[in-house]
Amino acid sequence: MEDRDRHRRQLGRHGEDIACSMLREMGHTILERNWRYSHLEIDIISFDAGGIHFVEVKTREYSIQAPPQDNVGPQKQKRTAKAASMYLKTAKGSAFGHAECTFDVIAVTFRNGKATAEWFPQAYIPLYL
């Protein structure tokens, strides 16, 4: 069980590395990774000309089940929106308080040792704040 958990954490970390590289290639500046407030977390916070992006990264090994992006349901959206609100109230985040905010998802799938990543900008609009 411990090996399985370690494998999942490593896979998730690798997926986040790929997501950060993808965002940088698109001109984003990575502001935070794994930003936490209490029990809430945002995988990546980035900034570009379009505003500030709160990014959830879903990483999976290839499966015939639902694609990774489908696993960002209402509960996760609500938690991410609350965390984003808290981030914007911090000293670092307050500088971006007037910027456009988007909630994005990056789905990373590994198959036969190769990764594919797909970005879903403005994947959802939180209605929970």
Q: What is the pLDDT of residue 18?
A: 97
Q: What is the pLDDT of residue 3?
A: 83
| Dist. CA 16–CA 55, nearest whole Å | 10
- Domain spanning 2-124, CATH class: alpha beta
Q: CB of 88 within 8 A of CB of 81?
A: no
Name which of 121, 118, 126 is nearest 53 in CA terms. Answer: 121
Q: What is the pLDDT of residue 63?
A: 67
Q: What is the pLDDT of residue 128?
A: 56
pTM of the model: 0.90
Q: What is the pLDDT of residue 1?
A: 66
- Spans of the chain, pLDDT less than 70: 1, 63-64, 128-129
